[in-house]
Structure 1
Amino acid sequence: MTRPDVVAIGDVHGCAALLEEQLLPHLDSGVELIFLGDLIDRAPEPDGDRKVLERIWQLQENPGAFGLAAVTVLRGNHEQMLVESLASTKRGLAFELWRCNGGDPALLPLAREHREWFEQLPVTAVRGNYLFVHAGVRPGVPLERQAFDDLIWIRKPFLSKPHGLPYTVVHGHTFRNDYQVTRLPHRIGIDTGAYVSGVLTAIQLPLNMHA
């Protein structure tokens, strides 16, 4: 059975206009969209977080109406910080950590309405020989034993050495100083710093080459 290609989309960070540009070529193409997390925070445009979330919810609710096979959203560290803020009984350390990392308190009412959605976001997705995850994995550790915090927060040693898993890991979380995509045999890094660079990256991965 032929599997739909996947289009992985890097850290959006409230860049609603850039997201629309990247979506346009893939609507009505039959692909699955996989967002690698960090949809929110540090938005460079007014109301960017809300616009991004509402657009993704629209696509996810009825992918077929937009010519998509599916829409999968992974949890990033920014979604996790928001979830922990919502779970706090008052504006304590969790709220301050989120706010200091670019969280917009004006988003909280909308986030509370959709709290269950945020809380059920998965941290990994496997499609063919690709493992999709927000930050990366700890080298030398089987996938089923990876720590939750590593999957959404890790940088080193993941960025500096092969991970040893039987997948090409497609991830965001860390962007390069030149805002370019990293393509190595064991990993593809597609966070290109959209909120500072003005470049949001989406890459199409043909799964049937790995069938």
Structure 2
Amino acid sequence: MTNGNLVRGLILALGLTLFATYGSAQDPEILRKSQEMNDVARANRAAAEKAFADFPQAEELRRQLNSAASPAACEKAVAPYITQNERRIVPYLNAHLALYRDCGIAISVALVKLGDNGHFQVILEELTSEILGVRTRAIEKLSLIQSKESYRKLYELLDDTSGGEYGSDFAVLPTNRYVVECLSRTIAYGPKGMDRFSPDAWKAWFERNRHLID
């Protein structure tokens, strides 16, 4: 194929691509659904901002989340609102969760502790993600929530040996190993010594402390 024919072919392919894209974008039903989604998103953001503006600490929380440079700083920013059971921040945090990606774990934990049961279901769904990082963050969130529901799920996952993969230069731990790693960081009075990293030891510990899961 000559250079001229090649160029003409590329131009034709580009034209067909643009036509298909533009044509689908002009479909009335697609446009209507897109507009509806945009309207709902705008309404949700407006409602969240209104709820967020209803208490005097709003700007301080926004400033702390924007400047948080570590997970500890994120946890510190939301901790007072959890202690005070300040549910007025729930709509704001839900609507803006994606903006505070670095504080995602702390915000998810705060939402659940402030009674957002729907967000707890989101975390459970994250456990089934095909993306390893999403699954491990979900396990970490459950260990930080520290409720009967979260501990019950972690107790179940102590039997889950799926996900492990090993190579000459890498290792992906099975699910239950991620669970004990998180539990060993968040429960100071759990199994001692090397047992802190044993799924069986943690199962036995939960069975001795069934008030945490029943």
Larger radius of gyration: 2
TM-based fold match above 0.5:
no
Report the TM range for the smaller structure's normalisation.
under 0.3
The two structures have a TM-score, normalised by structure 1, of 0.27
Q: Identify, as 1 or 2, the structure richer in strand.
A: 1
Higher relative contact order (CA 8 A, sep 6+): 1
The two structures have a TM-score, normalised by structure 2, of 0.26
